[in-house]
């Protein structure tokens, strides 16, 4: 499909039909996604294609706890950047999440890890939470979603499991020095949203300086 169309119309899909997705298709998606850029071309990604239903259930339970905490009621206006969820210490809110409740039915569950020895953290020591490290892994994740879209599939990238990484690591056999960066769910979407809501270029692009005139 046209690249611009794909970039503008690849929304999240969080519910899938029962139509299976073959290993060959998953392999071909990863075969496209491996051309994603990464710092120093170190390609820090590792992918576990999680098929075992007991492993799926285990990680879904971990993610469900995080999901409920994330929804926790209330808001703390003093929360710092990078705060988790809507507030600190809030009472968890229980809401259904098909991906997690029905993880056994999701056609493809990919656990994505990053080899931290292959990431140069440019902003690791400058007195604020680092962010550039993710740039070596999330383009790959996005390429997985675009490659899936090119094959008529949909999906969503989630980061719930990173919060439960310590518990998930032994279940997934996470190698030392690696981080869990995403769980990607793929399948034939029940509905694919292609009309995406995003801010206009004039809302975020300026000339010369971030306080400059709109582009």
Q: Does 65 bind ligand FMN (CB under 6 A)?
A: no
160 belongs to the binding site for ligand FMN (CB under 6 A): yes
Q: Is 7 in the site for ligand FMN (CB under 6 A)?
A: no
Distances, alpha carbon 53 to alpha carbons 12, 59, 91, 173, in Å: 23, 10, 30, 15
Which listed residue (28, 65, 167, 193) binds ligand FMN by CB under 6 A? Answer: 193
Q: Is 176 exposed, middle or buried (0-12, 13-18, 19+ CB in 10 A)?
A: exposed
Should residue 85 be labelled a site residue for ligand FMN when binding is judged by CB under 6 A? no
Q: Is residue 196 close enough to count as binding ligand FMN by CB under 6 A? A: yes
Cα 12 from chain centroid?
A: 10
Interface residues for ligand FMN in 123-152 (CB under 6 A)?
Answer: 138
Q: Is 71 in the site for ligand FMN (CB under 6 A)?
A: no
- Closest to ligand FMN by CB, 11 or 107: 11
The conformational region for residue 49 under phi > 0 = left, psi -120 to 50 = alpha, else beta, is beta
Residues 6+ apart with CB under 8 A from 162: 179, 180, 181, 182
Residues that bind ligand FMN (CB under 6 A): 11-12, 138, 156-160, 193, 196
């Amino acid at each position: 499909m046209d690249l611009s169309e794909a970039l503008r119309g690849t929304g999240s899909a969080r519910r899938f039909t029962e139509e299976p997705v073959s290993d060959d298709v998953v392999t071909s998606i990863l075969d496209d996604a491996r051309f994603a850029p990464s710092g120093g071309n170190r390609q820090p990604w590792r992918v576990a294609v999680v098929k075992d239903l007991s492993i799926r259930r285990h990680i879904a339970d971990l993610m469900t706890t995080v999901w409920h905490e994330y929804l926790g009621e209330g808001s703390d206006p003093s929360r710092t950047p990078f705060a988790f969820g809507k507030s600190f210490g809030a009472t968890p809110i229980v809401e259904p999440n098909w991906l997690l409740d029905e993880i056994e039915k999701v056609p493809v569950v990919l656990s994505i890890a990053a080899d931290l020895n292959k990431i140069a953290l440019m902003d690791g020591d400058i007195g604020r939470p680092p962010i550039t490290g993710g740039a070596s892994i999330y383009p790959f994740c996005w390429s997985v979603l675009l490659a899936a879209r090119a094959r008529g599939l949909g999906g969503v990238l989630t980061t719930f499991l990173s919060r439960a990484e310590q518990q998930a690591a032994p279940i997934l056999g996470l190698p030392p020095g690696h981080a869990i960066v995403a769980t990607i769910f793929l399948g034939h979407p029940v509905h694919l949203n292609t009309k995406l809501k995003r801010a206009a270029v004039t809302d975020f692009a300026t000339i010369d300086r971030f306080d400059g005139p709109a582009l």
